[in-house]
Chains A and B, each alone.
Chain A
Amino acid sequence: MFYRQAGDFKTTYRDDIQTFPLKQDRWGYYIVLAIAFLVVPFFINDYWTSAVMLPFLIYAIAALGLNILTGYCGQVSLGTGGFLAVGAYGCYKIMTSFPDLNIFVVVLLSGLITAAVGMLFGIPSLRIKGFYLAVATLAAQFFLVWLFNKVPWFYNNSASGQISSPERSMFGYAITGPNADAPVRYLFCLTLLVMLAWVARNLTRGRLGRSWMAIRDMDIAAEIIGVNPLRSKLSAFAVSSFFIGVAGALFFSVYLGAVEVGEAFGINQSFLVLFMIIIGGLGSIFGSFVGAAFLVLVPVLLKNIMVNWLGWPTDIAVHIEFMVIGGLIIVFLIAEPHGLAQLWRLAKDKFLLWPFPH
């Protein structure tokens, strides 16, 4: 009744191509942003930060990245874990080599390094498609993890083979290291996520985004109407890897603080992020957020219900958690193959007409 597009006339093309053409959507977005920036930091504690908010924010960045490559450009990738590792190790090397560099710059530089590595591993996509490309990116996953394990230069010859993040601060607040406060870490990741989501939206609505989608939907026709397949695919790999590299840098420096490559960035991570975008919705910015939220929040929720409320033993709870999440994934995929974002879209379409069905 209140959610209407009727009467909301667009008189310029600029109005028509904005991200949230409906007034209600726009306000909803501003309110969410305001709550995330101005309200949440005052209530957040350590548990919420490390169990829920940081993983959600960081995985959302990674999911955005993979969605650009797989959802928008149609190139399946199983190398996400490896690219996260590149971001993390890039971040570590820059942090330790240039201690005075601003952490924000360090994170962006790690993204750029990952973008270069991603482009390198994207070259096979010019020749191979689909499952075969997936296998080629799988090679990236295993090679990169192996590389960071085997070459001591990457972990500065530390005895444990781990990398751990030194303390770095911005505006006098510690962002990484053991002294960083929960709200500061949260705000740092949130700022990056909002910036990158905005960039993702801009790139996908313009010429570049259309050329990615054209390649995804019909690559031969795309080439014949003037889309350069080399440039489109490699730019998708570059942008996607940039996002994933930033996520990897945050994962290491802000979230975990110390990582061992095989544990933190294994093949599981590749699949987890892939599941996020499939469940959330391929080719949808919003879907990347929902997918990340779903796969981060539901396990926490289930664990809280089973262990804290019902008092079940932890090991049983973990197994049941696996089963429930697996079941939910299957249910969602059968009910709506286009992901949660599509469910949301359908619900909004219904609401536009409610309470009159025509």
Chain B
Amino acid sequence: MNIGSKMASNIQPGEELLRIENISLSFGGVKALTEVSFDIKRGEVRAIIGPNGAGKSSMLNVINGFYHPQVGEVWYCGQKRKGLKPFQIAHQGIARTFQNIALFKGMSTLDNIMTGRSTHMRANMLSQAIWRGAAEKEEIKNRRFVEEIIDFLEIQSIRKTPVGRLPYGLQKRVELGRALAAEPVLLLLDEPMAGMNVEEKEDMSRFILDVQSEFGTTIAIIEHDMGVVMDISDRLVVLDYGKKIGDGTPEEIRNNQAVIDAYLGVPHE
């Protein structure tokens, strides 16, 4: 059990896991996010959608601590977050995948996923140097878990292939595996299906739903394919020009006039 699962242990499914309060983020004169507030409940699939440049990826970067908003608060597991570095937030159980694949190209699939497991490993340098004993035991224990993920994602055959040589769809899958290896409480997926064909999208959607139901992982997903998003998510947040213009179930969002306007391109007054 690592810090993340401990922090989230008293939050039941359906209760608030993460709350974004009044976040504003700007880079110089460019306002990426303006006064955005929403929450993510434990166990749900929460989609963040919006046209290009709406601030979706910036939102994920705020959630995992890569960007520090000028205004606003992030509450996680009932605690207000302050001054944490991204790797500390990873240790609290937030994992993510990236819009442009960010795998470790020189390493094998197995090593990539094992790296995702590093928040669960704590053998010190000396025992790792000696290897026999504690370090080896820990390695094997975590390898067993990683093999379960490899089975789950059906990537057994590429276990020892350097990821740089894999096709795009498989790289996306390995990246999901690397995030899953951390056994995250909250999993952030940044366009996991971009550039995929219908079949690959179906596979990926199935994996995402399986992750939610099998591991009870809470998922925040950015995706452009409306068909997919409406199908797999429980609730959606819609951003446009850095502002929240809609929040609710797929049904509510479908009938939200502001959202329809944003997607169809009604001029802003």
Interface residues of A (CB under 8 A from B): 13-14, 17, 199, 202-203, 205-208, 210-211, 213-214, 216-218, 220-229, 235, 239, 283
Contacts and interface: CB of A to CB of B under 8 A. Distances in A.
B104 interface: yes
B139 A17 contact: yes
Contact of A210 (B103, B114, B131, B138): B114
B129 interface: yes
Contacts of B121: 207
A82 to B, nearest CB: 24
A224 B123 contact: no
Given A211-B118, A223-B87, A14 B140 contact: yes
B135 interface: yes
Nearest to B175: A221
B209 interface: no
If over half of B's interface residues share one DSSP class (helix, strand or loop), that class is named, otherwise mixed; here it is: helix
B115 A224 contact: no
A210 B119 CA distance: 12
Given A208-B128, A210-B115, A226 B107 contact: no
Interface in B79-125: 85-87, 90-91, 95-96, 98, 102-107, 111, 114-116, 118-119, 121, 123, 125
If over half of A's interface residues share one DSSP class (helix, strand or loop), that class is named, otherwise mixed; here it is: helix
27 contacts: A13-B140, A17-B140, A17-B143, A202-B128, A203-B129, A205-B131, A206-B128, A207-B121, A207-B123, A207-B128, A207-B138, A211-B115, A213-B111, A216-B106, A217-B105, A221-B98, A221-B103, A223-B85, A223-B90, A224-B86, A225-B95, A225-B116, A225-B179, A226-B118, A226-B119, A239-B125, A283-B106
A223 B95 CA distance: 11
B106 A224 contact: no
Contacts of A211: 115, 118
Contact of A222 (B96, B104, B125, B147): B104
A206 B143 CA distance: 11
Interface string B181-193: 0100000000000
Interface in B169-208: 178-179, 182
A226 B90 contact: yes
Question: Nearest 8 A-B pairs (CB), nearest first?
Answer: A226-B90, A221-B102, A217-B104, A202-B131, A226-B119, A207-B121, A206-B128, A210-B115
Nearest to A200: B129
A206 B123 contact: yes
B64 interface: yes
A118 to B, nearest CB: 14
A202 B129 contact: yes
B30 interface: no
Contact of A218 (B103, B118, B136): B103
B102 A220 contact: yes
Contacts of A218: 102-105
Interface residues of B, number: 40
Given A213-B104, A225-B116, 8 more contacts: A13-B144, A214-B115, A217-B105, A218-B103, A223-B90, A224-B64, A226-B87, A228-B87
A221 B129 contact: no
Contact of A199 (B106, B129, B147): B129
B10 to A, nearest CB: 23
Contacts of A225: 90, 95-96, 115-116, 118-119, 178-179, 182
Contacts of B131: 202, 205-206
A63 to B, nearest CB: 18
B130 interface: yes
Nearest to A17: B139
B66 interface: yes
Contacts of A217: 103-107
Contact of B128 (A203, A222, A224, A228): A203
Contact of B111 (A14, A210, A227, A235): A210
A214 B178 CA distance: 12
B67 to A, nearest CB: 12
A199 B103 CA distance: 27
Contacts of A208: 125, 128
Contacts of A13: 139-140, 143-144, 147
B104 A214 contact: yes
Given A13-B143, A210-B118, A221-B98, A226 B106 contact: no
